[in-house]
C-alpha cells in the first residue's frame, strides 16, 4: 500500500504541524481502507499562532487597493478552472458526492471568485445629501479585521469559497477552520489563492476537531467576526460564545425543506425535481427536500412514481460515472440516518422503499444507505420535523393549497421551499406565504445561483445572507463620513 500523505496547517505562509504533534485522518466514505491524508489535530495554541499571523498580515492587505485585492481572486478563479477536474475527483474521494456534482461544487467556487473579483471595482458606498450648506456626507465599507471561518463538509470547496472570496475582497485577514471530514479540499482551495499571489498570512488554515480548534477560534479575542455554516446545534453554541464577546456572527444552519405539489402540477416535472432534491448529494444538502407535501388528488400517482424512480437509482462510489447516489459521509451519520428509519416506523409512517444500510458487493467498505421513502407521514412526526441529512424523504398529504402551505411552514426551519403548480395565482400565493429565505416555483429546492442572496429564516440562521452583494455585509463595517467645508460651526437639526 502506498504511504499516507501528511498535511499541515498554513500559518503565516508556513506549513506547520500542530504544536502537540497530534493528528487525525481524512477517510474516503466510499472505501474506509482509503485514507486521503493525515492532518494536524490543532488546539488553542495553534489557533493563536494563526490569528497572530492574520493580525500581522491585516494592515498590508487592508491598505491594498480593492481592485488589486480582486486581481488575486481573479487569478485564483482561473487556477480553479484549470484544476476543476482534479479538485472534483479529490472531492468525490474525500466526501463521496458523485463526480458530476463535485464538478458543480468546484464550479460554484469559480463563479463566486469571478463575481467577487468584479466587486473589486464596484462602488461600495453612497454620497448622501446634507441638510446643511457646504457639507458633504458619504459612506464607505471597511474590513472588520481578522475573521474566523468555520465550514461544513457537504460543500467542501463551494462553502469555504462563499466566505473566503467576499471576506478577502472586503480587505479582511482570515483564519479558516474547515470540516474535519474534508480538510484536503479546503487546503487545495486555499492553495489556489496562494498560487495566485495572496500575501502570506492573509489566509491561514487550521485543521482540527470542532470542539477543539473550532471553539478556540470562536473564543479568540482578536477574531472580530465568525462566519459559521453547519448544524443548528453547533450554531447555537457558537452564537452564545460570540454573544458573550459582542462578536459579530453569521450563521447558516440546517433545513427541513419541502416540495409542495398541487393537483394541477406537471407531475413528471415534480417527480424529476423530487428525485434530485431528495436524493442528490445523498440528501446531504442544507437545501435538500426531505418532505413532499402532495395534494390528495395526485398523492397516489406521485408516491408511486417517486418510489419507482428511487428504486432505480444506482448507489455506489461517486467516482464511477454511472453512479447517481454516493455514500453517507461517515459511520456516525450513517447510524443516525438509520435511526430515523426506526423512528419513522415507530411513529406509524409507512416505509415505501429503502430503510436499509447497503453492504453487498462493492458497497461493503463504505457507508451506503438505500434511498428511503415514507408515506402516510403526519406533519408533526419527528421524521417530518427534524433534519435527517440523508436520503430519507417523507410524503405528506394535503387537501388544499392552504393546508399544503401550512404543512410546509410547520417546521422550525426556513431555508428553501418549492411549489409545483400551473396556476399563476396559486404560485404567487405560495411565493408570498412560504416561510423561507429561498422559494422556487416549478423547480426543486436546490439550485441556488451565487449572484443572489442565500440563507434562511427562523432556525436556519440569524438573518445574514451569503452570496450576492449581501455577502459583503457579513464581512465589512460601514463608516459614515461628514465633511464640513463651510468654515463655521453648523449644527445638524438646529441650524437648518
Ligand atoms: P457541524 O455543525 O457538525 O460542523 C460544522 C463545522 O463546525 C465543522 O467545521 C466543525 O468542525 C465545526 N464545529 C463543531 N463543533 C464546534 C464547536 N463547538 N465550536 C466551533 N466549531 C465547531 O455540521 P456538519 O455536519 O459539518 O454539516 C452539516 C450541517 O450543516 C447540516 O445541518 C446542514 O444543514 C448544515 N449546512 C447549512 C448550510 C446553509 O447554508 N444553511 C450549508 C451547508 C450545510
Q: pLDDT tens across 228-282, in order?
A: 999 999 999 999 999 999 999 999 999 999 999 999 999 999 999 999 999 999 9
pLDDT band at 302 (very low <50, low <70, confident <90, very high): very high
State the pLDDT at residue 124.
Answer: 86
- At 19-53, the pLDDT tens digits run 999 999 999 999 999 999 999 999 999 999 999 99
For range 449-466, the mean pLDDT: 97
Is 152 touching ligand 1 by the criterion CB < 6 Å?
Answer: yes
Give the mean pLDDT of the chain.
98
> Is the Cβ atom of 462 under 6 angstroms away from ligand 1?
no
**Three-state DSSP class for 120?**
coil
Whether residue 275 has its Cβ less than 6 Å from ligand 1: no
* Cell numbers standing for residue 85: 477536474
Atom of ligand 1 nearest to the CA of 177: 9
pLDDT confidence of 287, banded at 50, 70, 90? very high
- What is the secondary structure of 255-283 as a DSSP string? --EEEEE-TTS-HHHHHHHHHHHHHGGGG
- Residue 343: other Cβ atoms inside 10 A: 17
The CA-based dihedral angle spanning residues 159, 164, 165, 169, taken in that order and rounded to the nearest 10 degrees: 150
Q: CA-to-CA distance for 197 and 193, rounded, in angstroms?
A: 7
Phi, psi of 214 (to 5 degrees): -65, -50
CA of 386 to the centre of ligand 1 (A): 16
Residue closest via CA to ligand 1's atom 22 equals 210
Instruction: Specify the pLDDT at position 201.
Output: 98
For the question of residue 142 being annotated catalytic, the response is: no
pLDDT for the residue 277? 98
Alpha carbons 292 and 302: distance in angstroms, whole number: 9
Shortest-distance Cα residue to atom 15 of ligand 1 = 210
Ligand 1 pocket, residue 286 CB under 6 Å:
yes
The whole-angstrom distance between residue 63's C-alpha and the CA centroid of its chain comes to 30
Predicted local distance difference test score (pLDDT) of residue 477: 97
Which atom of ligand 1 is the closest one to the Cα of 181? 26
pLDDT surpasses 60 at 62: yes
| 227 contacts: CB under 8 Å, gap ≥ 6 | 147, 148, 149, 150, 163, 167, 249, 250, 474, 475
- Grid coordinates given for 377: 407521514
Q: Please say whether the beta carbons of 79 and 192 come within 8 A.
A: yes
Q: Indicate whether 123 pLDDT > 70.
A: yes
Question: Does residue 393 line the site of ligand 1, with CB under 6 A?
Answer: no
294 CA → ligand 1 middle, Å: 31
* Confidence label for 11 from pLDDT (cuts 50, 70 and 90): very high
Looking at residue 467, what DSSP letter applies?
S
- As given in the structure block, the three cell numbers for residue 64 are 491594498
Partners of residue 259 on adjacent β-strands: 292, 418
Note the pLDDT of residue 221: 98
Does residue 286 carry a catalytic annotation? yes
CA distance 141 to 124: 6
Q: pLDDT-based confidence at 1, cuts 50/70/90?
A: low
- Residue 98 to residue 214: CA distance in whole angstroms: 28
What does the block give as the cell for 144? 472588520
290 within ligand 1 shell (Cβ under 6 A): no
Sequence-distant (≥ 6) Cβ neighbours of residue 241 within 8 angstroms: 215, 218, 219, 247
Res 27: pLDDT: 98
CB 414 within 8 A of CB 254: no
Provide, rounded to the nearest whole percent, the portion of the chain with pLDDT above 70: 100
**Does pLDDT of 2 surpass 90?**
no
Pick from 55, 162, 185, 175: nearest CA to 109 = 162
Q: Is 389 in the pocket of ligand 1 (CB under 6 A)?
A: yes
Residue nearest to atom 13 of ligand 1 (CA): 210
Q: Is 113 exposed, middle or buried (0-12, 13-18, 19+ CB in 10 A)?
A: buried
CA of 251 to the centre of ligand 1 (A): 10
For residues 449 and 439, is the Cβ–Cβ distance under 8 A?
no
Give the nearest ligand 1 atom to 218 CA.
Answer: 20
> Is residue 471 in contact with ligand 1, taking CB distance under 6 Å?
no
**Sequential DSSP letters for 312-334:** HPPBS-TTSTT--B---S-HHHH
Probe target for ligand 1 pocket from 148, 151, 210, 285, with the most ligand atoms within 8 Å of CB:
210
Distance 150 CA to ligand 1 centre (A): 8
String of DSSP letters for 14-39: EEE--TT--EEEEE-TT-TT-EEEEE
Q: Is 255 in the pocket of ligand 1 (CB under 6 A)?
A: yes
Question: If we measure between CA atoms, which residue out of 375, 378, 425, 432 comes closest to residue 405?
Answer: 432
Q: How far is the CA of 296 from the centre of ligand 1 (A)?
A: 36
| CA separation for the pair 104, 217 (Å, rounded) | 30
Residues 6+ apart with CB under 8 A from 330: 27, 29, 181, 367
pLDDT in tens, 177-226: 999 999 999 999 999 999 999 999 999 999 999 999 999 999 999 999 99
What is the atom index within ligand 1 of the atom nearest the CA of 456? 41
DSSP 339-390: HHHHHHHHHT-EEEE--SEE-SGGGGGS-EE--EEEES--TTSHHHHS---S
Which set of grid coordinates corresponds to residue 31?
472505501
Ligand 1 centroid to residue 421 C-alpha, Å: 34
Calculate how far, in angstroms, residue 67's C-alpha sits from the geometric centre of ligand 1: 32
> Per the residue annotation, which of 252, 324, 387, 473 is the catalytic one?
252
Please report, in angstroms and rounded to a whole number, the separation of the first and last CA atoms in the chain: 81
Looking at 108, 180, 242, 286, which residue is catalytic? 286
Across-strand partners of 204?
Answer: 175
- Report which ligand 1 atom has the smallest distance to the Cα of 209: 11
Sign for the CA dihedral angle at 192, 193, 199, 204 comes to: negative
The whole-angstrom separation of Cα 480 and Cα 261 is 48
Amino acid at each position: 500500500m502506498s504511504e499516507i500523505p501528511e498535511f499541515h496547517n498554513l500559518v503565516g505562509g508556513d506549513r506547520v504541524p500542530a504544536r502537540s504533534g497530534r493528528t487525525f485522518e481524512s477517510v474516503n466514505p466510499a472505501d474506509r481502507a482509503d485514507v486521503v491524508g493525515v492532518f494536524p489535530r490543532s488546539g488553542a495554541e495553534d489557533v493563536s499562532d494563526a490569528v497572530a499571523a492574520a493580525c500581522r498580515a491585516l494592515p498590508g492587505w487592508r491598505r491594498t487597493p480593492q481592485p488589486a485585492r480582486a486581481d488575486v481572486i481573479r487569478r485564483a478563479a482561473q487556477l480553479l478552472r484549470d484544476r476543476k477536474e482534479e479538485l472534483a475527483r479529490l472531492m468525490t474521494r474525500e466526501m463521496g458526492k458523485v463526480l458530476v456534482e463535485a464538478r458543480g461544487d468546484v464550479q460554484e467556487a469559480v463563479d463566486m471568485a469571478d463575481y467577487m473579483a468584479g466587486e473589486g471595482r464596484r462602488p461600495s458606498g453612497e454620497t448622501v445629501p446634507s441638510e446643511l450648506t457646504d457639507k458633504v456626507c458619504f459612506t464607505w465599507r471597511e474590513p472588520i479585521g481578522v475573521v474566523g471561518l468555520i465550514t461544513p463538509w457537504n460543500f467542501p470547496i463551494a462553502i469555504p469559497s462563499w466566505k473566503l472570496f467576499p471576506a478577502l475582497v472586503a480587505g479582511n485577514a482570515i483564519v479558516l477552520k474547515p470540516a474535519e471530514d474534508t480538510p484536503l479540499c479546503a487546503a487545495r482551495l486555499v492553495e489556489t489563492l496562494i498560487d495566485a499571489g495572496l500575501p502570506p498570512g492573509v489566509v491561514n488554515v487550521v485543521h482540527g476537531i470542532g470542539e477543539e480548534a473550532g471553539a478556540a477560534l470562536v473564543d479568540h479575542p482578536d477574531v472580530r467576526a465568525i462566519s459559521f455554516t453547519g448544524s443548528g446545534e453547533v450554531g447555537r453554541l457558537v452564537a452564545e460564545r460570540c454573544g458573550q464577546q459582542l462578536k459579530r456572527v453569521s450563521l447558516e444552519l440546517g433545513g427541513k425543506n419541502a416540495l409542495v405539489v398541487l393537483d394541477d402540477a406537471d407531475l413528471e416535472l415534480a417527480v424529476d425535481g423530487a428525485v434530485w432534491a431528495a436524493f442528490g448529494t445523498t440528501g446531504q444538502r442544507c437545501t435538500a427536500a426531505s418532505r413532499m407535501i402532495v395534494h390528495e388528488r395526485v398523492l397516489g400517482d406521485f408516491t408511486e412514481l417517486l418510489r419507482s424512480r428511487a428504486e432505480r437509482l444506482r448507489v455506489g462510489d461517486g467516482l464511477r460515472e454511472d453512479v447517481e447516489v454516493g455514500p453517507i459521509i461517515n459511520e456516525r451519520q450513517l447510524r443516525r440516518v438509520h435511526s430515523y428509519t426506526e423512528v419513522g416506523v415507530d411513529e406509524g409512517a409507512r416505509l415505501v422503499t429503502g430503510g436499509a444500510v447497503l453492504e453487498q458487493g462493492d458497497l461493503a467498505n463504505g457507508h451506503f444507505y438505500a434511498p428511503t421513502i415514507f408515506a402516510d407521514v403526519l406533519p408533526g412526526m419527528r421524521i417530518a420535523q427534524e433534519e435527517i441529512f440523508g436520503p430519507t424523504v417523507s410524503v405528506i398529504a394535503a387537501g388544499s393549497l392552504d393546508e399544503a402551505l401550512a404543512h410546509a411552514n410547520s417546521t422550525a426551519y426556513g431555508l428553501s421551499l418549492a411549489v409545483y403548480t400551473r396556476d399563476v395565482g396559486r404560485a404567487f400565493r405560495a411565493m408570498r406565504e412560504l416561510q423561507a429565505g429561498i422559494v422556487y416555483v416549478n423547480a426543486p429546492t436546490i439550485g441556488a445561483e451565487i449572484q443572489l442572496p442565500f440563507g434562511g429564516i427562523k432556525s436556519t440562521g440569524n438573518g445574514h445572507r451569503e452570496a450576492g452583494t449581501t455577502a459583503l455585509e457579513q464581512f465589512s463595517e460601514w463608516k459614515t463620513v461628514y465633511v464640513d467645508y463651510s468654515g463655521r460651526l453648523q449644527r445638524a437639526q438646529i441650524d437648518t
